[in-house]
Structure 1
Amino acid sequence: MTTEAGLDTDEVTEQPTWSRWVIIGGTLLAVLLIGATAGMFFTRAVDDPATATPAAGSVEVGFAQDMSTHHLQAVTMAGIARDRTTDPEIKQLSFDIERTQLEQVGRMKGWLMLWDQPEQPIGAPMQWMTETMTGHDGMSMAPSSVNPAEGPLMPGMATDTDLKKLRSLSGREFDVYFLQLMLRHHQGGTSMAQYAAAHSTLPALKALVNSILTSQGAEMDQIKLMLSGRGAQPLPA
């Protein structure tokens, strides 16, 4: 069918694939910026000015630095899955993870900017965790877990080898391995958030921790059901 101008209506209405990804990318960037703005505003609004500037090495600064890095790996894995899977359920989960965690990263980077602290910690991660704890599902919460080949890793983080394997898979194998990695990643992030909540009195941080525990708790339940529906189990603890 053509219009009076001689244009094919299918050509007029069909949106190119690259255009859809530009829109998605723009949406996710906007989410990050909104999170940063909200983080700065909320911190200024609710915290006592006398106690609202945590120092380098504090739980608050360390958590914001390390959890931002932890979240960004989840965003990376979710982006891989969104681009490669053909499973609509996994596509939706991936987009939800990207959107939620980018907003939370924005908040934490907003805090670090207000506190005049670098986005990345100096030295090994997890130095703000001065006590050894047992975290979610029995995961070790030592201040720094060390992978001999790749250095210190935070709880639940995928190694370079894990990510290389993920990128090498396709179809059902890809979907299952993505879900397994993301479940382990969420478990580690949840344990970090619980530790921060137990060792900080900062209202803005406690509000973010509650948001993380709520969103990742729901996603962990969902992922476990998705693995079961695909005849698969979580990775060993």
Structure 2
Amino acid sequence: MEKSARKPVLIVCAVLVLVAAAFLLFGRDGTPGDSSPEAGFARDMATHHAQAVEMAFVVRDKNPAREIRNLAFDIITTQSNQRGMFQGWLQQWDLSQATDQRPMAWMAGHGHGATPTAPGAMPGMASPQELAKLKELQGAQAEVLFLQLMIRHHEGGVEMAEGLLKLSKRDEVVSMAQKIVQGQSGEIKLMTDLLKQRGAQPYPSILAS
């Protein structure tokens, strides 16, 4: 093929590549696409919230002190509602709830700096061994471990939400991320105070200083 004939073909190919990339990011009618930060955030945060709710149910069922029981109830209520919203967004955007992409892939190259609990995990997630220990402990020991695990878990949630805020301008997603940063930062302070009352300290922070 002569150079003069090849040039239009190359232009068409380049345009098709751009269109395909735009569809993955923005989907149809400007909605987030499958590999967009918004979709990745919704999927990963839904999973992240699910573990927080699980841990809150575990400690709630151990008949803890009133302030721990109230905290657990707030986490169960708030994060269950938010998780439903994440799943609703994906349905509204005509995207699947699951994906083959690794966790946090949507933040790759955008300053994802915290070290996850395990390779490929989301920041702040408790390990299976930690969850098993939480289920075994009783009394004050269970309360302390719950607070330590949940502080680290909230730090991971704050990091994920702050990461989304750097990547998205979509109103409903940005608004939710801001609420998560504000709400979970406040609960981190509360839980740190509750730990001090029990003569304990949080785990080393996973948030960048």
**Which category of TM-score, normalised to the shorter sequence, fits these structures?**
0.7 to 0.9
Report the Cα distance in structure 2 between the residues aligned to 1:78 and 1:175, rounded to whole angstroms. Answer: 10
Question: Which amino acid in 2 is paired with 1:96?
Answer: D
Normalised to the residue count of structure 1, the TM-score between the two structures is: 0.71
**C-alpha RMSD over aligned residues:** 1.6
Report the Cα distance in structure 2 between the residues aligned to 1:177 and 1:85, rounded to whole angstroms. Answer: 15
**What is residue 141 of structure 1 aligned with on the other side?**
114
Query: Deviation string for 1:35-92 (max 9, x for gaps)?
Result: xxxxxxxxxxxxxx942x1111110000000000000100000010111132111000
**What is residue 213 of structure 1 aligned with on the other side?**
181
Report the Cα distance in structure 2 between the residues aligned to 1:187 and 1:146, rounded to whole angstroms. Answer: 12
Query: Deviation string for 1:177-221 (max 9, x for gaps)?
Result: 000000000000000000001100100101101111121111111
- Answer yes or no: is 1:107 the counterpart of 2:80: no
- Answer yes or no: is 1:156 the counterpart of 2:124: yes
Q: Tell me, yes or no, if the aligned pair for 2:125 and 2:156 is still in contact at 8 Å.
A: yes
**What is residue 172 of structure 1 aligned with on the other side?**
140
- Answer yes or no: is 1:72 the counterpart of 2:50: yes
Q: Tell me, yes or no, if the aligned pair for 1:85 and 1:175 is still in contact at 8 Å.
A: no
Q: Which of 99, 102, 109 is the matching residue for 1:124?
A: 102
- Answer yes or no: is 1:188 the counterpart of 2:156: yes
**SS of 2:120's equivalent?**
strand
Give the strand-richer structure, 1 or 2: 1
How far off is 1:133 after superposition? 2.5
Q: How does 1:3-152 map to 2 (within 5 A)?
A: 50-51=29-30, 53-131=31-109, 133=111, 140-141=113-114, 145=116, 147=118, 152=120
Report the Cα distance in structure 2 between the residues aligned to 1:62 and 1:223, rounded to whole angstroms. Answer: 28
Q: Tell me, yes or no, if the aligned pair for 2:117 and 2:127 is still in contact at 8 Å.
A: no
Q: Which of 189, 192, 202 is the matching residue for 1:224?
A: 192
Report the Cα distance in structure 1 between the residues aligned to 2:134 and 2:191, rounded to whole angstroms. Answer: 17
Report the Cα distance in structure 2 between the residues aligned to 1:93 and 1:129, rounded to whole angstroms. Answer: 30
Q: Tell me, yes or no, if the aligned pair for 2:117 and 2:126 is still in contact at 8 Å.
A: no
Q: Which of 204, 217, 234 is the matching residue for 2:172?
A: 204
Question: Which amino acid in 2 is paired with 1:141?
Answer: A
How far off is 1:146 after superposition? 6.8
Report the Cα distance in structure 1 between the residues aligned to 2:156 and 2:187, rounded to whole angstroms. Answer: 13
Report the Cα distance in structure 2 between the residues aligned to 1:124 and 1:50, rounded to whole angstroms. Answer: 26
How far off is 1:106 after superposition? 1.1
Report the Cα distance in structure 1 between the residues aligned to 2:70 and 2:117, rounded to whole angstroms. Answer: 33
**What is residue 10 of structure 2 aligned with on the other side?**
none
Q: 1:210 to 1:146 in 2, by over 3 A?
A: closer
**What is residue 31 of structure 1 aligned with on the other side?**
none
Q: How many residues align?
A: 178
Structure 2, unaligned runs of 5 or more: 1-27
Give the helix-richer structure, 1 or 2: 2
